[in-house]
Amino acid sequence: MLAALAASMPAMRAQSRGSGFSPLNPAQVGIRLGTVIECGFGYSPHEKYDVKVTLLEVLRGDKASERIKAASASNQPPKAGFEYILARVKFEFFAKGAPGNCVHELRREEFAAFSADGQEYEAAMIAPPQPGLPAKLNSGDSFEGWLAFQAPQGGNKALLRFVASVGSAVEQGGQVWFQLY
């Protein structure tokens, strides 16, 4: 199913430059991946921005549950048969030229977790460890924060995908993929 997912994404096929640009070849924790996104509305000139995304840390199972419980006493355990996955990501945002005054609102929805066979996991409806998303970034800014997902226990080949938001000032650039294991 991941092959079908990769085949259905022309932007991803065009970026077949090594690990991290396909769900069939995701990057490991600690690898810094880059993509380009555009900022602009309608027919106005769009500015290009370099984006760097790094998956810094992955916590699963008991370690993730402990961190989630410490983040907020109101956080509940995962539903039966599931476990939490926490991912700490770093996001960097740089204008490729002038004027470089677009702001990117980094949102939780730009990240998704998938099983090895391509099934998308649910975002965990909990308060993640701080800092969490959203975050607003200007050119030159970087942000580190936590994402939380809920996955079936034993799904040890989970993947994390980042794709810039669609339908706002920022248009889709390219996708990057990481191992959540």
CATH 3.40.50.970 is the classification of domain 2-179:
no
pLDDT at 122: 87
Q: Is 70 left (phi over 0), alpha (psi -120 to 50) or beta?
A: alpha
Predicted confidence band at 14 (pLDDT cuts at 50, 70, 90)?
very low
What is the pTM for the complete model shown? 0.84
Taking only the tens place, the pLDDT of each residue in 41-94 is 777 778 889 999 999 999 999 999 999 999 999 999 999 999 999 999 999 999
Half-sphere exposure at residue 74, Cβ-oriented, CA atoms within 13 angstroms: 4
What b/e string do you get for 114-130 counting C-beta neighbours within 10 Å, with b at 16 or more? bbeeeeebebbebebbe
- Domain boundaries in the chain? 2-179
Count CB-CB contacts under 10 A for residue 67: 18
